[in-house]
């Protein structure tokens, strides 16, 4: 199976590429089997996400959004991976992985409410298989093993994917999660978006290992190293990892080499303190949108008009979502108490009564 | 009815729940073939298979994460932490993940995990095996803490803990595992979480306690009654989070005097919280301040020093005498 080639061969080598930066296909043998419409849909999602990110940064600066971790540059890694999954697969995101949640079915206005710090932002609709964004770095790596073990015990053909950055690979939970997944042969995909920096700390200060992918060896699971600016390559390795998972072959660690064009978060991080302009522009040459746009244009599948239509669509969607977020009712302490337990202990009943009295005034 | 030790009652509770509910899974270090380092899971793997009762790698945080992931995917994990002194490795899974799952998802997800773990002094364990760390969890919103003091309670409370749809830390005092036998009913029964038990009625002073200190307190009560005829009421909290404030306050209103007895250090455990609650709710009924009988505020002692460090009958009698003579 050609897919196995990718997972086994890329671990310690050059990241797998299907599209060269000029948009030409360099590995036709690994080309995902996608229709023209599906290819266009990948581009639509990337452009949409880029616009959404720009709008989110702007809304954050206006004070209309709260906590926000920019995603520009990582669209191929995020969307390529999510698109290779089915809706029944379970996503355990980190705080930056909001796009995968939304493309998996989480409503955008709820993502905005999450950003603002509103309870509705955590209320994932029934049937949408995502967890709330994880703030504790790498906790999702161990939790994904539990979700995946559940699928394995029930004999369901589903996988759990967990997302994290390069810094997370220094955490104990990253290693423990992979190791448990290895021992129990669980259908898990550990997806590391290596954007080179954990806030200001470059990857070489996280580890003396050559890369993230080799760390799979310590757990005895499969690994793949992929060009995270190449959406087709990302799509391919995730599809393969999923197949391995549901075939009972166990877990895969994927390292996607990518870059964030913006700051770590919108809470005052200034990347010019730790990154050079040369480095930034070097990665801008590798922009996943440029590469995939060239590929589609060469095939006659994308035009400026298509792009403009998506830009308008995204702007409208963001405007609608922020409006809907504005309409969310203000939270009440009594309501927060109510979601602590199935049955409230007397002490909390008492505190709830106190706050209900205040709230009714 | 059968005569059981506490550890047998605990095994029986897991067996009953595993039979009743196929989503109940038991896992941890050495809980499978070995049946647990204290035999608490003895025979369970043979009866229910490796899919339901299994060993894990030696990593508490991984165990906690596995449990949380299973719990949001429809399972009811009973995860064992070999000794509660090792809870720090998995504190995030308990205190930042399981405890907050219902709240941060606005009720969409729940984490019905039971974390079972032995603790407690008096059996000369090596470092970080016996520490009383229940106070840490007491200060963690979203998770319940249960500490049984006898076989009957252990079974009924563990069944309730497993059935509870929120996370529960179930702490098993090592000294009580096999120290005595008690009649324990066959099959299922449950004891509600959050309800204390008045194990001895009295009218002159109340002892509020839990775990192994229930037995120390009962002996002290007996001695005091012999010595000066004062009638001591003894409350076994059974659940320390949430605390059964109502039972405590009712008793204090009757006796007008109270002490809290705990094995944990003075500024750990639950004593301070109980005293604060009594101050808020029953100060006009107090004839004396509420005192604490606890361990001193040092690191848990070297094994050879347990006898001089752990609260004993004499220290409880002293505490009672001080509030009676105030």
The whole-angstrom separation of Cα B239 and Cα B170 is 9
Q: What is the mean pLDDT of chain B?
A: 98
> Is A150 part of the contact surface with chain B (CB cutoff 8 Å)?
yes
> Does the CA dihedral A193-A197-A203-A205 come out positive or negative?
negative
Three-class secondary structure of residue B130 per DSSP:
coil
pLDDT at B1: 79
Summarize pLDDT for B185-221 with one digit per residue, the tens: 999 999 999 999 999 999 999 999 999 999 999 999 9
Question: With contact defined as beta carbons under 8 Å apart, do B81 and B60 qualify?
Answer: yes
The whole-angstrom separation of Cα A120 and Cα A106 is 11
CB contact under 8 A, A346 and B246: yes
Active site annotation includes B129: yes
Question: With contact defined as beta carbons under 8 Å apart, do A159 and A82 qualify?
Answer: no
Nearest CA in chain B to A120: B106
Summarize pLDDT for A207-256 with one digit per residue, the tens: 999 999 999 999 999 999 999 999 999 999 999 999 999 999 999 999 99
pLDDT at A361: 86
**ipTM score for this prediction:** 0.97
Encoded tokens for B73: 């995917």
The whole-angstrom separation of Cα A192 and Cα A166 is 6
CB contact under 8 A, B68 and A142: yes
The whole-angstrom separation of Cα A84 and Cα A56 is 26
Partners of A153 on chain B (C-beta within 8 Å) are 51, 75
The whole-angstrom separation of Cα B94 and Cα B68 is 9
pLDDT at A194: 97
Active site annotation includes A260: yes
* Over residues B112-135, mean pLDDT: 97
Encoded tokens for A65: 């959004």
The whole-angstrom separation of Cα A249 and Cα A187 is 8
Summarize pLDDT for B2-24 with one digit per residue, the tens: 999 999 999 999 999 999 999 99
The whole-angstrom separation of Cα A71 and Cα A195 is 10
Residue of A119, A147, A176 lying closest to B69 (CB–CB): A147
* Over residues B261-284, mean pLDDT: 98
> Which one of A126, A146, A148, A179 would you mutate to disrupt binding with B, by most B Cβ within 10 Å of its Cβ?
A146
Question: With contact defined as beta carbons under 8 Å apart, do B157 and B189 qualify?
Answer: no
pLDDT < 50: residue spans in chain A:
1-4
Residue B74 confidence (pLDDT) above 70: yes
CB contact under 8 A, A150 and B75: yes
> Is A220 part of the contact surface with chain B (CB cutoff 8 Å)?
no
The whole-angstrom separation of Cα B143 and Cα B211 is 18
C-alpha distances in Å from residue A10, one per residue of A21, A32, A66, A244, B9: 19, 17, 39, 16, 53
Encoded tokens for A20: 């060269």
CB contact under 8 A, B65 and A176: yes
CB contact under 8 A, B73 and A147: yes
Q: What is the DSSP letter of B34?
A: T
The whole-angstrom separation of Cα B181 and Cα A106 is 54
Active site annotation includes A264: yes
CB contact under 8 A, A122 and B106: yes
Nearest to B234 by CA among B223, B248, B253, B245: B248
> Is A332 part of the contact surface with chain B (CB cutoff 8 Å)?
no
> Is A131 part of the contact surface with chain B (CB cutoff 8 Å)?
yes
pLDDT at B103: 98
Question: With contact defined as beta carbons under 8 Å apart, do B183 and B154 qualify?
Answer: no
Q: What is the 3-state secondary structure (H, E, C) of chain A?
A: CHHHHHHHHCCCCCCECCECCCCCECCHHHCCCCCHHHHHHHHHHHHHHHHHHHHHHHHHHCCCCCCCCCCCCCHHHHHHHHHCCCCCCEEECECCCHHHHHHCCCCHHHHHHHHHCCHHHCCCCCCCCECCCECCCCHHHHHHHHHHHHHHHHCCCCCEEEEEECHHHHCHHHHHHHHHHHHCCCCEEEEEEECCEECCEEHHHCCCCCCCHHHHHHHCCEEEEEECCCHHHHHHHHHHHHHHHHCCCCCEEEEEECCCCCCCCCCCCCHHHCCCHHHHHHHHCCCHHHHHHHHHHHCCCCCHHHHHHHHHHHHHHHHHHHHHHHCCCCCCHHHHHHCCCCCCCHHHHHHHHHHHHHHCC
């Amino acid at each position: 199976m050609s897919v196995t080639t990718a997972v086994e061969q890329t671990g310690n080598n050059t990241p797998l590429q299907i599209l060269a930066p000029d948009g030409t296909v360099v590995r036709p043998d690994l080309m995902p089997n996608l229709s023209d419409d599906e290819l266009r849909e990948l581009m639509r999602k990337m452009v949409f996400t880029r616009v959404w990110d720009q709008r989110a940064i702007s809304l954050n600066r206006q004070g209309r959004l709260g906590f926000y971790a920019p995603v520009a540059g990582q669209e191929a890694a995020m969307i390529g991976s999510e698109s290779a999954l089915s809706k029944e697969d379970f996503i355990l995101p980190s705080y930056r992985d909001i796009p995968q949640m939304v493309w998996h079915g989480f409503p955008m206005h709820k993502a905005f409410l999450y950003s603002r710090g509103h309870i509705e932002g955590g209320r994932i609709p029934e049937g949408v298989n995502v967890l709330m964004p994880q703030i504790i770095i790498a906790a999702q790596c161990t939790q994904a093993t539990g979700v995946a073990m559940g699928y394995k015990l029930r004999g369901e053909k589903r996988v759990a994917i967990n997302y994290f950055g390069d810094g997370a690979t220094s955490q104990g939970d990253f290693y423990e999660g992979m190791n448990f997944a290895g021992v129990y042969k669980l259908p898990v995909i550990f997806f590391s978006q290596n954007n080179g920096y954990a806030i200001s700390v470059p990857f070489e200060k996280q580890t003396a290992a050559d890369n993230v992918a080799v760390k799979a060896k310590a757990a005895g699971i499969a690994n793949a190293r992929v060009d995270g600016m190449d959406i087709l390559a990302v799509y391919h390795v995730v599809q393969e990892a999923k197949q391995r998972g549901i075939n009972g072959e166990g877990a895969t660690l994927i390292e996607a080499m990518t870059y964030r064009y913006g700051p770590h978060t919108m809470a005052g991080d200034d990347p010019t303190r730790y990154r050079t302009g040369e480095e930034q522009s070097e990665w801008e040459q590798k922009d996943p949108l440029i590469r995939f746009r060239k590929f589609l244009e060469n095939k006659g599948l994308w035009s400026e008009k298509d792009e403009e239509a998506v830009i308008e669509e995204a702007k409208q969607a963001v405007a609608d979502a922020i409006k809907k977020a504005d309409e969310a009712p203000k939270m009440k302490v009594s309501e927060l108490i109510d979601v602590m337990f199935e049955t409230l202990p007397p002490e909390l009943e008492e505190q709830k009564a106190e706050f209900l009295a205040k709230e009714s005034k | 009815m059968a005569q059981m030790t506490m550890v047998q009652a605990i095994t029986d509770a897991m067996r009953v729940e595993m039979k009743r509910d196929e989503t109940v899974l038991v896992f941890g270090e050495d809980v499978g073939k070995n049946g647990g380092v204290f035999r608490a899971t003895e025979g369970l793997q043979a009866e229910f298979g490796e899919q339901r009762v299994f060993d894990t790698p030696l990593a508490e945080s991984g165990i906690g994460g596995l449990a949380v992931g299973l719990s949001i995917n429809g399972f009811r994990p009973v995860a064992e932490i070999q000794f509660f002194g090792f809870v720090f490795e998995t504190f995030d899974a308990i205190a930042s993940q399981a405890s907050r799952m219902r709240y941060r998802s606005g009720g969409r997800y729940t984490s019905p995990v039971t974390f079972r773990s032995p603790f407690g002094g008096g059996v000369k364990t090596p470092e970080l095996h016996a520490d009383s760390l229940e106070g840490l969890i007491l200060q963690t919103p979203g998770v319940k803490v249960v500490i049984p003091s006898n076989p009957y309670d252990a079974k009924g409370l563990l069944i309730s803990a497993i059935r509870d749809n929120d996370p529960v830390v179930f702490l098993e005092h090592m000294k009580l595992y096999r120290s005595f036998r008690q009649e324990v009913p066959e099959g299922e029964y449950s004891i509600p979480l959050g309800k204390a038990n008045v194990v001895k009625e009295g009218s002159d002073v109340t002892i509020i306690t839990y775990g192994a200190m229930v037995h120390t307190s009962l002996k002290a009560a007996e001695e005091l009654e012999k010595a000066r005829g004062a009638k001591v009421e003894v409350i076994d909290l059974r659940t320390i989070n949430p605390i059964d404030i109502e039972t405590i306050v009712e008793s204090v209103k009757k006796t007008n005097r109270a002490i809290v007895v705990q094995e944990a250090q003075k500024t750990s455990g639950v004593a301070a919280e109980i005293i604060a609650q009594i101050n808020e709710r029953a100060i006009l009924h107090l004839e004396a301040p509420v005192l604490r009988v606890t361990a001193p505020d040092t690191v848990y002692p070297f094994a050879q020093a347990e006898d001089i460090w752990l609260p004993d009958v004499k220290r409880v009698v002293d505490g009672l005498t001080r509030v009676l003579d105030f």
